[in-house]
Structure 1
Amino acid sequence: GSGSTTLEVARALAGCRGLRVITNALNVAALLAELPDIEVVVTGGLLRSTEQSMIGHLTERAFGELRADKVIMGIRALSAAEGLSNEYGLETSVDRAMLHCAPQLVVVADHSKLGKVATVVIAPATAIHTLVTSELAPPELLDELRRLGVNVVVAPADE
């Protein structure tokens, strides 16, 4: 994805060596291109300029043919009952295609995205291997996600 949380994850990769990052986000690709020890694979597709991300069938096809160890995904909304969801249909199709690239889904989302449901469901909460969120996240929701088998990592709010 191309959101601010995903961009922060990309920034945190500085200093990592031997990584290959597959992304549909131009802002993430541009940031990582400056790091010599990270190989960047950018999917093709239609540019959604407001989000600086590639969408559409070409992007979906690229994710369908690529494999990774982990998918790290920022999301618009996450609830225990409805799972991951988004507002924009073409972006949602790409998100679904991303899920098939790797055996582990890591969701990164601050507290403002949790306990919410958007228009289009991407996947159930049980599809998430790990959720990384802030300490401002509602504890009862985090407990519910843990009961569903999600590994929850809580980072200090200022990080």
Structure 2
Amino acid sequence: MRSGNPALSESTFLDLASGSVVTSPDQVMTINGTVNKTGVLLLLTVLTAAFAWSQAIDASGLPTSSAMLYAMGGAIGGLVLALVTVFKKEWSPVTAPMYALVEGLFLGSISALFNAKFPGIVMQAVMLTFGTLFVMLAAYR
């Protein structure tokens, strides 16, 4: 199968086909390790999303001037970190948590803006999305 996605280039899975010997336990990918890392990244995203939400809406429920700042900063930072991670995969232990943090800023501020316009819609979406992810992580665990 061919893909235009640089993250799925022909060399991406080259180590799997070469039959190279794993030299340390850190190089082995397990389901439990993947579930744990996903949980940590989710926690980082939720923490910064909660912070951005609290900063994006004032006491009267109206958006603040910082809402768009967090949204734009999170979106641009997320794009930059995603591109860095795609082209420098060895940096992913550092860039993945950073990506989760900036995406939390984006998601929290955008969610607060949508919730100000359409009250209650965000909580339903968040509960369904995170509920599904939590159940899937528990099932894999």
Shorter-chain TM-score category?
under 0.3
By relative contact order (CA 8 Å, sep 6+), the higher-ranking structure is 2
Q: Which has the larger radius of gyration?
A: 2
More strand by share: 1
